[in-house]
Amino acid sequence: MAIEITEEMRVDVPMDVAWAFVTDARRVAACMPGAEIVEQVDEKTFIGKAKVRLGAITTSYKGQVVFAEVDPAAHTMRLTGEGRETGGGTARGSLDVRLSEAAEGGIELAFEVRVELTGKVLQMGRGMIKGVSAQLFKQFSANAKAQLAAGEGAGDHAPAPPSDEALAVGSLLGRTLWQMVVNFFRRLFGRPAG
């Protein structure tokens, strides 16, 4: 199943601080619960892992992420990656990141994700996967903003300690299902979703 997701976030830090953050694989992984970089193969290639809990089932992915294209002048980059689930499923895709000066100040970060999925995760369906992905991005965004705020000015770009906590998708699924139900009834009765 092919999934495409586009997200944006704004951070109140200078461009060089935001760029240093997005080009540091360990710092970015530390912002996603259950994910961590376990090995650096070379300056562009990293081995990472992530644990995801779907209700009573916990699944683990291990794979490789490559900084395929990095343009510091344009503040754009493309990461490619692929991972294998312990149960045999796979995830393969790319992440395009673009940083720009925001009109209201700070830096706007735009993310475009394209991923091909196989395995157990497909039981959730495309709509649920996109909904859960939006909730995950909210968590990532909050963690990234906190890390950037804590690190700015201190010159501290050390990654947060790795977390062994699996990403708990159960509560994310509940919120996603609720939002889907609310949006359905708003469309049904002619009110715009908010």
H or E stretch at 22: helix 15-22
pLDDT in tens, 50-64: 886 655 556 788 999
What pLDDT is stored for residue 160 in this prediction?
45
Architecture of domain 2-167: 2-Layer Sandwich (3.30)
Distances (CA, A) of 130 to 3, 83, 123, 177: 8, 19, 13, 11
> Once rounded to an integer, what is the mean pLDDT over residues 122-129?
72
* Mean pLDDT, range 25-51, rounded to an integer: 89
What mean pLDDT comes out for the span 118-144?
78
Domain boundaries, the chain: 2-167
In degrees rounded to 5, what are phi and psi of residue 163?
-105, 135
Cβ proximity of 82 and 113 under 8 Å: no
Give the C-alpha distances (Å, rounded to integers) separating 57 from 35, 69, 162, 167, 169: 17, 36, 22, 11, 10
Residue 142, helix vs strand vs coil:
helix
* Residues 6 or more apart in contact with residue 63 via CB below 8 angstroms: 47, 48, 49, 81, 82, 83, 84, 91
Q: Mean pLDDT check: name the lowest of 7-11, 146-150, 188-192.
A: 188-192
Binned at pLDDT 50, 70 and 90, residue 153 comes out as very low
CB atoms within 10 A of CB 25: 19
CA dist 1 and 17 (Å) reads 36
pLDDT at residue number 91 = 86
Condensed to tens digits (0 to 9), the pLDDT of residues 1-25 reads 888 888 899 999 999 999 999 999 9
Query: What's the CA gap between 18 and 21, in Å, rounded?
Result: 5
Residue bearing the bigger pLDDT, 113 or 135:
113
Q: Please give the share of the chain, as a percent, with pLDDT higher than 70.
A: 73
Give the C-alpha separation, 39 to 48, whole Å.
7
Output the pLDDT for position 157. Answer: 43
Q: Please, are residues 19 and 12 in contact by the beta-carbon 8 Å criterion?
A: no
pLDDT band for 127, please (50, 70, 90 cuts): confident
In sequence order, what are the beta bridge partners of 46? 40, 65
